[in-house]
Structure 1
Amino acid sequence: MPISEKFESVYSHEWEINFLQCTPNGLLKHTELCNLLQLTAGYHAEMGGLSFTDMQQHDQAWVLSRMRVEIDELPKWRDIVTVKTWIYDLQGSRSIRALEMYLGDKKIAGSETFWAVFNTKLRRPEALALPHEHFEKYPERRATVETFKKVDISREAALHSERTVVLSDLDIVFHANNVKYLEWCLDGIDPKPILKNKLASFDMNYMRELMLGDTVEINKGNDDGQDHFT
Structure 2
Amino acid sequence: MLIHPFSIYAFPVKSYDSDQNGKLTLQALFHFLQECAWDNARINDFGFEYLEEQNAYWVLSRVLIQIDEYPEWKDEISIKTWPKGADGFFALRDFLIFKDDKVIGRATTSWLILDRESRRPRRLDSFNFIHENFLKENSIDIKLDKIIIPNELLKHDQRKVYPSDLDVNKHVNNATYVRWMLDAYFSNHTELISEFEINFLLELLLNDEFSVFYGVNNDGTFYTLKNIQDKEVCKARLIAGI
TM-score by length of 1: 0.89
Q: For 1:202, which of 196, 203, 211 is the aligned residue?
A: 196
1:212 is aligned to 206
Bigger Cα displacement from structure 2, 127-136 vs 204-213: 127-136
2:11 is aligned to 15
Confirm or deny: 8 A CA contact 2:150 2:222 kept in the other structure: no
1:227 is aligned to 221
Could you tell me which runs of 5 or more consecutive residues in structure 2 were left unpaired when the two chains were aligned. 225-242
Q: Does 1:182 align with 2:178?
A: yes
Q: What is the deviation of 1:12? A: 0.6
2:74 is aligned to 78
Identity %: 27
**Any idea what SS the aligned residue of 2:37 has?**
helix
Q: What is the deviation of 1:133? A: 4.3
Q: Does 1:66 align with 2:62?
A: yes
Tell me which stretches of 4 or more aligned residues in structure 1 moved more than 4 Å: 191-194
Q: 1:192 to 1:155 in 2, by over 3 A?
A: closer
Q: 1:142 to 1:193 in 2, by over 3 A?
A: farther
Query: Which whole-Å deviations, capped at 9, do the CAs of 1:40-60 have from their partners, x for residues lacking one?
Result: 111101111112111110111
Query: Which whole-Å deviations, capped at 9, do the CAs of 1:29-84 have from their partners, x for residues lacking one?
Result: 11101110111111101111112111110111110111000000111111111100
TM-score by length of 2: 0.85
Q: What is the deviation of 1:153? A: 2.7
Query: Which whole-Å deviations, capped at 9, do the CAs of 1:168-225 have from their partners, x for residues lacking one?
Result: 111111111111111111101135855x5x3110110111111111111111111238
Q: CA RMSD in A?
A: 2.1
Query: Which whole-Å deviations, capped at 9, do the CAs of 1:121-170 have from their partners, x for residues lacking one?
Result: 2211112443234572233x111254433111353111111111111111
Could you tell me which runs of 5 or more consecutive residues in structure 1 were left unpaired when the two chains were aligned. none
**Any idea what SS the aligned residue of 1:184 has?**
helix
Matches within 5 A, 1:1-230: 7-90=3-86, 93-128=89-124, 129-134=126-131, 136-139=133-136, 141-144=137-140, 146-190=142-186, 194=190, 196=191, 198-224=192-218, 226-230=220-224
Alpha-carbon distance in 1 for matches of 2:158, 2:108: 29
**Any idea what SS the aligned residue of 1:126 has?**
coil
Alpha-carbon distance in 1 for matches of 2:102, 2:188: 26
Q: 1:102 to 1:193 in 2, by over 3 A?
A: farther
Structure with the bigger RCO (C-alpha within 8 Å, sep 6+) is 1
